[in-house]
Amino acid sequence: MMASLRFASLGSGSRGNSTLVEWDSGMLLIDCGFSVKEANQRLERLGRRAEDLTAILVTHEHADHIKGVAPLARRYGLPVYMTPGTYQSRNLGELPDLRLIEGYAAFELDQLNVIPVAVPHDAREPAQFIFERTGIRLGVLTDLGSITAHVESHYQDLDAMVLEANHDPFMLASGPYPPSLKQRVGGLWGHLSNQQAAGFLQRLNCARLQHLVVAHISQQNNSLELAQAALAPVTAEVKQITFACQNQGFDWLSVF
């Protein structure tokens, strides 16, 4: 049986983020926080090439997500989708094919339905995304400081999800970050803690969830063991749990 969707990560964390979503008629890159050279090396590890991409999708303008987007798009002539706020937030230079996502309106990309979702994050007009193909639903949800009712309603009944569990509150509070950065990361417009991610999963219907990928785990303010311990009580229904990392991201996962 051919998978309706496949997804993988080039890397996940504060030093660079990028996720691949592939279906039978296309492949898109969500964000590119890496140089063109490094992105190509990471794509090669996953058996893919930048020349084969259908488009790049951008969540927001922070450097660990957007650093390589414009250079990659220029090098390979790729369409780039982002909100007007993200585009206006920095000078990206000439883009070969800019496609603005107005008002978080859903759109179709080579028979893949893309649903942008507004999230609370300290960026100009950030978006996260849900992808639908032949009844299969994949949700990507990172870089938000709190779970709103809007977010919670959109991310129900998924078959696969990439979910942020960025920090452990005690590690963040006692760690090396300056107070202003601690407040930003741990605030309502920052990043989800392990406990926030667990609470969110507890409120979701996880019966369909084939894959849960825990992502954007801080190397300074979290540990794999703490994230696992926080999420274990609420993930018994999930068929497979994967923990993404900064250097390797995660390998291809298939959703049927």
pLDDT in tens, 57-73: 999 999 999 999 999 99
Mean per-residue pLDDT over the chain, rounded: 97
Tokens of residue 55, six digits: 């488009």
| Confidence class for position 3, pLDDT limits 50, 70, 90 | confident
The proportion of the chain whose per-residue pLDDT surpasses 70, expressed as a percent, equals 99
pLDDT in tens, 119-154: 999 999 999 999 999 999 999 999 999 999 999 999
Q: Which residue has the tokens 């964390």?
A: 13
pLDDT at res. 237 = 86
pLDDT at res. 1 = 56
